[in-house]
Amino acid sequence: MSINVMSTDYVQQLKEDFRLFLFAVWQFLNLPPPTDIQYDIAYHLQHGGKRIIIEAYRGGGKSWITSAFVCWLLLRNPQLRIMVVSASKERADSFSQFTKRLLGDMPILQHLKPTGLARDRMDVFDVAPAKNDHSPSVKSVGITGQLTGSRADIIIADDIEVLNNSATQDARDKLSELVKEFDAIIKPLDTSRIIYLGTPQTEMSIYNTLAERGYEVRIWPALYPNAEQEAAYVFNGRSRLAPLITKRVQENPELVGHTTDPKRFSDADLMERRVSYGKAGFSLQFMLDTALSDAEKYPLKLHDLIVTNVGREKAPSSFEWCNDPDKRCKELEALGLAGDYYYRPLWTSENFMPFTGRLLTIDPSGRGKDELAYNVTYFLNGYVFLTESEGLLEGYSEKNLKTLAETAKKHQVHKVLVESNFGDGMFTQLLKPWLNRIYPVSVEEVRQTAQKEQRIIDTLEPVLMQHRLVVDAKVIERDLEATQGRVFYSLFYQMGRITAERGALKHDDRLDALAMAVAYWASVMDADAKRIEQEVRAEALEKELADFIAWASGERDEPEWGVSGLAFGETGSWFN
């Protein structure tokens, strides 16, 4: 049947099933018929709950589908008030302009075309049958635009999260606050709905945050996931994968790794895009797998730590790291990324040795809402032991200075390390009288010049990957207790979420202080390694020289080159 000649029954069928209407729109636009995935998205748009989030691979056509959905809603009920919100005003206007063109061009919708007697702009318009109302039939606005004062039956949030408004913690916090305005805009009716469409930009995506507020998330990735990838879509015991995807994989496991929508993207096309976007970018834009994507973007993993109980005097000389589920610290809440937990060591050496170093490290940049962060680390046999980590407000107050001096005494530290970037050493001069009075100890200042985020990562990543950072379980417990209601101040929250981007974290004081401590112990290890190497070479040189003299004087038939463990001539140029 031609779309220009429509029976009443046909129109009624279109009104009852959005998938049929979507087919008619695609036919009118001379597009190929909708794919199975597009039909599945359409079905969820019609039958989903009051608050839903649709995440589909980039290029899946979700915005076009939803624009057609707005037309379908107005066809069924011209009195609806619909607001379209996007990250930018331009993006939102493009959505509403496409909707308005469909209303004006498609025969089945032309009776809804704005007449010009009411609001009739591209970004704000009323359909012809709409009654006078304070709110227009369709309004498009940027997320930072004029949201207040409007009312809507349906809110369409189309790609409100983009890289520019989600790259840093401050930006994410602002976006999270802005979307709360939707609750004031939406009408308190059983038929009212808020629908999000988008692609997550980060593990701390607004879509994950909204899911915690009760929104239903449904995900259509570009490739059929394997069992491990499927697990990444499970939150609070429920999978966010579209049932269509799950069902097809169960019925035919050979689909794993192949395109979910071959009419849109072939396997070869997706492989090219994977190379072009990179592993992390492809995981975000096409697999919508925040856990996997952030494993690439966020280099510091909590599971690389060794968590155990640390004594004050001695510790095992070595540890065997593991991430065995049986060794997971289930009693400790992990503030890292999805699937990142704390683990106890597989085993520890029975040989206990006294610590060979103790250090108090202070980042005194606490001002405003920042903290004066400090930690205490011990050192033994190449392992750094974190035994205390805190943050103090009120900056350079006498109370804080006294606390630091008492902490130095409690742990019997050998040195105090202070970052001197702020105040040109003023903090050290304020601290020294308290140390002299409570616990005399040497103070060393360090000055940082490299970009902070990259410096922190470069310092901590190799130590974590080698599993050389041992954390006292009590430090984690205290960190959780002290940062309740202000998780951004948590050391382990900061550790799991830092990226190389400048300003990636809202607060990073505690993590910065830890990086200072680890950098100090790394320099000590380097110095010790060079000293030991020099001593070994000197000893080897003496042995080779004695051997040469014995051979030259006839006391030995042949020189025993290499008995020292070094190759011939390796100990000095005089053999060359």
Domain boundary among 220, 247, 276: 220
**Would residue 30 count as lying in a domain?**
yes
**Would residue 148 count as lying in a domain?**
yes
Highest mean pLDDT among 138-147, 507-516, 558-567: 507-516
Q: What is the pLDDT of residues 90-136, one digit of tens each?
A: 988 999 999 999 999 999 999 999 887 778 888 899 999 999 888 99
Number of domains within the chain = 3
CA 202, 207, 213, 216 torsion-angle sign = negative
| Residues 420 and 509 reside in one and the same domain | yes
CATH number (domain holding residue 518):
3.30.420.140
Residue 455 · residue 513 · CB < 8 Å: no
Confidence category of residue 394, pLDDT binned at 50, 70, 90: confident
3 has pLDDT over 50: no
The contacts of residue 101 (CB under 8 Å, 6+ apart) are none
Quote the crossing angle between the two packed helices 62-76 and 36-47, to the nearest 10°.
40
- Percent above pLDDT 90 for the chain: 59
295 has pLDDT over 80: no
| Residues 444 and 561 reside in one and the same domain | no
DSSP state letter for 286? I
What does the pLDDT average to over 266-276? Answer: 87
Query: CA-to-CA distance for 243 and 226, rounded, in angstroms?
Result: 15
3-state secondary structure (DSSP) of residue 333: coil
Q: Is the pTM of this model over 0.85?
A: no
| Residues 70 and 163 reside in one and the same domain | yes
Domain boundary among 186, 220, 254: 220
CA angle 480, 482, 486 (to 5 degrees): 85
What does the pLDDT average to over 150-170? Answer: 85
What does the pLDDT average to over 371-393? Answer: 95
| Residues 358 and 462 reside in one and the same domain | yes
Residue 43 amino acid letter? Y
68 has pLDDT over 90: yes
Burial 58-89 (b: 16+ CB within 10 A, else e): bebbbbbbbbbbbbbbbbeebebbbbbbbbbb
Domain boundary among 170, 195, 220: 220
- The tokens describing 22, both together, are 């979507």
Query: CA-to-CA distance for 490 and 389, rounded, in angstroms?
Result: 10
| Residues 462 and 568 reside in one and the same domain | no
| Residues 308 and 370 reside in one and the same domain | yes
| Residues 93 and 159 reside in one and the same domain | yes
Number of H helices, E strands in the chain: 18, 20
**Would residue 350 count as lying in a domain?**
yes
The contacts of residue 168 (CB under 8 Å, 6+ apart) are 501, 503, 504, 505, 506
Block residue for tokens 């190759």? 567
| Residues 393 and 514 reside in one and the same domain | yes
Q: How many CB atoms lie within 10 A of CB 286?
A: 24
DSSP states of 177-243 = HHHTTHHHHB-SSTT-EEEEEE---STT-HHHHHHHTTPEEEEE-SB---HHHHHHTEETTEE-B-H
Query: Of 2-6, 246-250, 257-261, 544-548, which range is least confident?
Result: 2-6
What is each CA distance from 185 to 124, 148, 191, 270, in whole angstroms? 16, 7, 14, 39
pLDDT of residue 367: 59
**Would residue 274 count as lying in a domain?**
no
Strand partners, 100: none
How are beta strands 383-392 and 469-472 bridged, if at all?
parallel
**Would residue 420 count as lying in a domain?**
yes
Per the model's pLDDT, the better-predicted residue between 530 and 195 turns out to be 195
| Residues 441 and 481 reside in one and the same domain | yes
CATH number (domain holding residue 159):
3.40.50.300
Query: CA-to-CA distance for 104 and 384, rounded, in angstroms?
Result: 69
**Would residue 257 count as lying in a domain?**
no
Q: What is the pLDDT of residues 337-355, one digit of tens each?
A: 767 899 999 999 999 999 9
Quote the crossing angle between the two packed helices 18-28 and 36-47, to the nearest 10°.
130
- The tokens describing 284, both together, are 């975000």
DSSP states of 451-480 = -HHHHHHHHHHHHHHTT-EEEEHHHHHHHH
Query: CA-to-CA distance for 214 and 439, rounded, in angstroms?
Result: 53
570 has pLDDT over 60: no
How are beta strands 82-86 and 154-158 bridged, if at all?
parallel
- The tokens describing 326, both together, are 């049986």
Per the model's pLDDT, the better-predicted residue between 391 and 236 turns out to be 391
**Would residue 248 count as lying in a domain?**
no
| Residues 520 and 551 reside in one and the same domain | no
| Residues 348 and 424 reside in one and the same domain | yes
Burial 476-508 (b: 16+ CB within 10 A, else e): beebbeebeeeeebbbbbbbbbbbeeeebbbbb
477 has pLDDT over 70: yes
Highest mean pLDDT among 74-78, 196-200, 211-215, 285-289: 74-78
What does the pLDDT average to over 492-497? Answer: 92
pLDDT of residue 332: 92
| Residues 431 and 329 reside in one and the same domain | yes
Residue 336 · residue 302 · CB < 8 Å: yes
How are beta strands 319-320 and 347-348 bridged, if at all?
antiparallel
**Would residue 253 count as lying in a domain?**
no
pLDDT of residue 568: 39
pLDDT of residue 532: 56
pLDDT of residue 526: 66
Mean pLDDT, the chain, as a whole number? 87
Domain coverage including residue 554 = 537-575
- Percent above pLDDT 70 for the chain: 89
Per the model's pLDDT, the better-predicted residue between 51 and 507 turns out to be 51
